[in-house]
């Protein structure tokens, strides 16, 4: 049985350079997506699985070092920094911020591909084997249980939620399938929206997807609606049982 193709995201603000790297990697059998900056990466990660990231350091807005540091605290994704900063101090800084490998431009593409292949083998070694052939995703709905502190998947696996995850899902469930804008979701997570890191919402969604993938083959039914926000379908919250004395109070 052949192994699945690894998903790679190339984060590079130079459109010509990004396209060149994408084409070289895709030609070697990887599934490749390009992002122009950190914001595009965070949005991509909320809706798609990623195994490896090729990351430029000098990005507009949030730089590659910050991106790598955030990724390393929340995932096991493979990170290859590809940058024009070639001094040894820059390499040390990149590796200390979470990169698995540090390559400089102009890149030797066979070396880049070999680095991705090596990281891919290590990632596969970390993960448990996939479910047996024929095992199917459950047909039921997703449900918040235990007063919203657990998310039960259609195949009856329970995922413990953080307060952010619980509040976000409750807000989406109340919308009954209608898209909710990012500002409203952020407002459900914090009282001070102006002091809330704008990337944190994407990281909350990314971490939740990662927790679900660790225990279930089911895919979280949370969708990004371009230019609007997010919506969720096929999810409900378990109604609390009435206390037996409530009827006589």
Q: Assign a CATH topology to domain 7-126.
A: Rossmann fold (3.40.50)
Residue 79's pLDDT band (cuts 50, 70, 90): very high
pLDDT at residue 71, rounded to an integer: 86
Short-list 74, 224, 205, 187, CA closest to 151: 205
Inform me whether the pLDDT recorded for 166 exceeds 70: yes
Give the predicted TM-score (pTM) of the model: 0.61
Report whether 111 contacts 84 (CB < 8 A).
Answer: no
Portion of the chain with pLDDT greater than 90, in percent: 41
* Domain map (residue ranges) of the chain: 7-126, 142-237
Residue 200's pLDDT band (cuts 50, 70, 90): confident
- In sign, the C-alpha dihedral spanning 112, 115, 117, 119 is negative
pLDDT at residue 3, rounded to an integer: 61
161 to 146, 158, 218: CA distances (angstroms):
10, 9, 16
Q: Assign a CATH topology to domain 142-237.
A: Arc Repressor Mutant, subunit A (1.10.10)
Residue 65's pLDDT band (cuts 50, 70, 90): very high
142-237: same fold as 7-126? Answer: no
């Amino acid at each position: 049985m052949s192994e699945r193709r690894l998903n790679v995201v190339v984060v590079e603000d130079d459109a010509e350079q990004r396209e060149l790297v994408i084409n070289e990697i895709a030609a070697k059998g990887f599934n490749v997506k390009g992002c122009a900056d950190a914001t595009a990466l965070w949005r991509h990660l909320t809706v798609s699985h990623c195994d490896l990231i090729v990351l430029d350091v000098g990005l507009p807005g949030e730089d590659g070092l910050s991106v790598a540091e955030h990724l390393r605290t929340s995932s096991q994704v493979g990170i290859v920094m590809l940058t024009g900063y070639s001094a040894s101090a820059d390499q040390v800084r990149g590796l200390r911020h979470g990169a698995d490998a540090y390559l400089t431009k102009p890149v030797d593409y066979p070396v880049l591909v070999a680095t991705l292949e090596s990281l891919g083998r290590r990632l596969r070694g970390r993960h448990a084997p996939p479910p047996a052939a024929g095992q199917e995703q459950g047909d039921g709905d997703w449900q918040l249980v235990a007063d919203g502190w657990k998310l039960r998947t259609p195949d009856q696996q329970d995922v413990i939620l953080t307060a952010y995850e619980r509040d976000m899902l409750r807000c989406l469930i109340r919308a009954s399938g209608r898209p909710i804008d990012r500002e409203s979701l952020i407002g459900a997570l914090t009282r001070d929206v102006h002091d809330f890191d704008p990337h944190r919402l994407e990281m909350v969604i990314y971490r939740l997807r990662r927790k679900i993938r660790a225990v279930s083959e089911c895919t979280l039914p949370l969708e990004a609606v371009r230019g609007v926000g997010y919506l969720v379908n096929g999810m409900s919250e378990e109604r609390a049982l009435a206390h037996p004395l409530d009827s006589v109070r």
